[in-house]
Amino acid sequence: MKPSAQRLCLGLLSPVLLLGRNSLAAQEVPLERCDRLPAIRVEVAGNKPMLFLVDTAATSLLNLKSFVLGDAREVEISSYRGTANTRAREVSPPEMKIGSYHLVGVKMMAIDLSALGASCGRRIDGILGADLLEKMGATIDFKRQIVHFMTSDERREEKLIGEARSDVEHCMAALSAQDEQQLAECLAPELTLLTEGTVAYPRNQALTWLRERYLHAQSRSHAEAEAHIEAHAANFHVVGEAVLFAYDLNRTTPGDSQNENGMAMCRKSNGRWRITSISPASSRAEMTTKR
C-alpha cells in the first residue's frame, strides 16, 4: 500500500505527513530528559538523530545553530512570556523522521536556542510544539516515559467513532423524545435483535418491537401511562466497518421505573450510521408508590 499524505496547516510549520507501512504498529518513542525538560530524538535528512524538546506550550521551532541554511527574515515568535520580534531563518529540511512518521516538505522557523540548551546542559536542536504534537496525535506518558503517536488505524477508528457517535446520539435523543419518525430513520433496513433468541426483523417490525418495549409499554399500575425516557450511548468501539456501543435506558412512569442496558451495533448506510443490531444485557424494574 502506498503511503497516504495529509497536509498539516501549522502556521510556521507546513509539512506533508506521510504514514509509512509500519504505521500500523504502535508508535511509541522514548522520552529523554534535558535537566527536567522532556525531549525526543528526531532524525533529519537521514543524519544522526537530533534532540528536540517536547513542549506543549510552545510553537515548533528549529535551532539556528543546527540549521544554518535558509532565508533570514524578521518574524514574531510567541511564547508564555509574550510575543517578540526576532531574527529567524526559514529552513526546509528534506525529511524529518519521528518514530515511523516521515515529515517531507517541512518549512520551519529557526532561531537561536543556545540559551535554552545552556539552561538544561545539552544542545537543543529544536522544539516539537503543540501545533505539531496535536496534528500527529501525540500522547505524552510521563509514567512510562514515552510519546505515543497516533497510528493510521487509530486515526481511522477515531474518524469512524466520531461519525457514528454523532448519529447514534441523535438516535438516543429521538428515543428519549419518543419521536417514532426520527427513530425509524435510525434503523437499518433489517435489524437483528439478540434477546432470548436471535431474530432479524425488517425495519417496520423492528420499530413495532421498540414501540412495544420502550415507547408505549404498559405500566404495572397504569395502563398506557405516559412514560419519561432517558437514553444514552457510550463506549464506542470499531469492529471492522461497524461500530459497537453500549447503551443505557431509563423509563419511568407514575407507577414504576425500568432500567435497561445492553450493546448495539451500527453501520454506515446511505451516508448515515444506522443501528443494525440490539442486544439487551439486563433489565431492572422497580415499583414506586404515589403518596
Main-chain phi, psi angles of 98, to 5 degrees: -125, 110
pLDDT at 236 over 50: yes
Answer yes or no: do 211 and 224 share one domain: yes
80 and 166 co-located in one domain? no
**43, 127: one domain:** yes
Are 18 and 114 contained in the same domain?
A: yes
- Going from the C-alpha of 97 to that of each of 43, 76, 109, 223, 274, the distances in angstroms are 5, 27, 18, 68, 40
Number of domains in the chain: 2
Domain with 105, as residue range(s), is 4-150
pLDDT tens, residue by residue, 148-185: 887 778 888 989 999 999 999 999 999 999 899 999 99
| Residue 65, domain CATH | 2.40.70.10
Residue 74 grid cell: 524578521
Give pLDDT, residue 9: 25
Q: Confirm if 19 and 136 have CB atoms less than 8 A apart.
A: no
Q: Point out which residues pair with 199 in neighbouring strands.
A: 193
Whether the pLDDT of residue 215 is over 90: the answer is: no
- Which of 91, 117, 150 lies at the terminal end of a domain, its last residue? 150
CA distance linking residue 20 with residue 24, whole number of Å? 8
Instruction: Compute the distance between CA of residue 157 and CA of residue 161 in angstroms, rounded to an integer.
Output: 6
**Do 124 and 252 reside in the same domain of the chain?**
no
pLDDT of residue 198: 78
Is the domain of 175 the same as that of 120?
no
Pair 102, 163 in one domain: no
Do both 123 and 75 map to the same domain? yes
Co-location of 189 and 83 in the same domain: no
Residue predicted with more confidence, 209 or 26: 209
* Same structural domain, 94 and 30: yes
Least confident of 22-36, 111-125, 182-196: 22-36
CA dist 243 → 37, 56, 159, 185, 225 (Å): 40, 32, 11, 17, 34
Tell me the C-alpha distance between 17 and 159, whole Å: 17
Residue 77 pLDDT: 57
Same domain for 106 and 236: no
- The grid cell for 273 is 450510521
Which residues make Cβ contacts (< 8 Å) with residue 9, sequence separation at least 6? none
3-state secondary structure of 117: helix
- Span 28-39, pLDDT tens digits: 889 999 888 899
CATH of the domain at 273: 3.10.450.50
Residue 160 shares a structural domain with residue 105: no
